[in-house]
Amino acid sequence: MISYLISKNISKEKIPIRPVKGQMICFPPSDIPNPCMVMDEDRYIIPRKDGRIVVGSTRENTGFDASTTESAFAELRDFARQLYPALANVEPDAHWAGLRPSSPDSIPYICRAEPFTNLSLNAGHYRNGIVTAPASATLMADIVLNRTANIDSTPYQLVR
Ligand X SMILES: Cc1cc2nc3c(=O)[nH]c(=O)nc-3n(C[C@H](O)[C@H](O)[C@H](O)COP(=O)(O)OP(=O)(O)OC[C@H]3O[C@@H](n4cnc5c(N)ncnc54)[C@H](O)[C@@H]3O)c2cc1C
Q: Binding residues for ligand X, per CB under 6 A? A: 22, 24, 56-57, 98, 100-101, 123, 125-131
Cβ atoms of residues 77 and 57 within 8 Å: no
Q: How far, in Å, CA of 42 to CA of 151, rounded?
A: 28
- Shortest distance, position 129 Cβ to ligand X, whole Å: 2
- Shortest distance, position 72 Cβ to ligand X, whole Å: 11
Instruction: Give whichever of 86 and 94 is closer to ligand X, judged by the CB atom.
Output: 94
- Shortest distance, position 150 Cβ to ligand X, whole Å: 20
Query: At 135, which amino acid appears?
Result: A
Instruction: Give whichever of 56 and 92 is closer to ligand X, judged by the CB atom.
Output: 56
Let me know the angle formed at the C-alpha of 65 by 63 and 70, rounded to the nearest 5 degrees.
120
Q: Which residue is nearest to ligand X (CB)?
A: 129
Q: How far, in Å, CA of 18 to CA of 147, rounded?
A: 30
Instruction: Give whichever of 16 and 101 is closer to ligand X, judged by the CB atom.
Output: 101
- Shortest distance, position 89 Cβ to ligand X, whole Å: 26
Q: Is 145 exposed, middle or buried (0-12, 13-18, 19+ CB in 10 A)?
A: exposed
Instruction: Give whichever of 135 and 159 is closer to ligand X, judged by the CB atom.
Output: 135
- Secondary structure E strands in 28-143: 38-40, 43-47, 53-56, 94-102, 109-112, 120-123
- Shortest distance, position 131 Cβ to ligand X, whole Å: 4
Instruction: Give whichever of 58 and 87 is closer to ligand X, judged by the CB atom.
Output: 58
